[in-house]
Amino acid sequence: MFRNRTEAGKALAAALKQYENVPQLIVLGLPRGGVPVAYQIAAELHVPLDVFVVRKLGVPGHEELAFGAIATGGTKVINHHVVNIAGLSERAIEPVIRREERELNRRQTEYRGDRPWPDLRGWTVILVDDGLATGATMRAAVAALKQQSPERVIVAVPVGASETCATLEEEADELICLERPSPFRAVGFWYDDFDATTDEEVHALLAHDTTEPAVGTARGV
């Protein structure tokens, strides 16, 4: 369906053309695979690009079930309904949070260095990944991002499972999903080239000024 993440990003940029040069708008990619897609959108719209690192907080022993999330900017979201159903005590929760905070900080330092996180209050945010399967990470990202009081949160993905997209339509202010194939199988199934995005590629993309009209491309994305 898509040759690679570059093609997917350009297709999404075309669907988001009404946001070209809009002030107080930023594109955030979920690392690593969402960054090359987000880069193409930011470059085509001439708006800033950054990464949004989010870590799910999984129930001990059932890590696929998230009881919350932490994210770039110091945001922490706890789903107390899941906490109560799982019978989680504060003693059980704290080690999970500490472990994920360490990994979050490591990844933020890896991708953003010491750059301060922007104040997103009143901004429109386009949150990007290379696809949605279960959507757990993206849902956590939306919940965490909304804690920072942006004007709007737009989720943009090239392809997603139909049920997952329906859920995100309820939780984000807007969802742009170009394809919702059924059966879905997996995100990588819908790309000819779905090689893992490397840290070096993420660094190269973030080094570009996407607000400038002419932007080069990095190898392998």
This prediction has a pTM of 0.87
Predicted pLDDT of residue 213: 63
Q: Is the alpha carbon torsion for 81, 67, 31, 132 positive or negative?
A: negative
Written out in words, the top-level CATH class of the domain with range 55-112 is alpha beta
Place of tokens 């209050």: 121
CA 24, CA 21: separation in Å to the nearest integer?
9
Under 8 Å CB-to-CB from 221, ≥6 apart: which residues?
4, 5, 6, 36, 39, 197, 201, 205
For residue 208, pLDDT over 90 is answered with yes
Q: Helix (H, G, I), strand (E, B), or coil: what is residue 54?
A: strand
**Alpha-carbon span 49 to 44, nearest angstrom:** 11
CATH 3.40.50.2020-classified regions of the chain: 5-54+114-206
Place of tokens 């809009």: 22
Using a pLDDT cut of 70, give the percent of the chain over it.
96
pLDDT in tens, 16-74: 999 999 999 999 999 999 999 999 999 999 999 999 999 889 999 988 788 988 888 88
| Helical H segments across the chain, by residue range | 5-15, 34-45, 80-86, 90-112, 136-146, 162-171, 199-206
**CA separation for the pair 22, 33 (Å, rounded):** 25
For the chain, give every residue range classified as CATH 3.30.1310.
Answer: 55-112
Class of domain 5-54+114-206: alpha beta
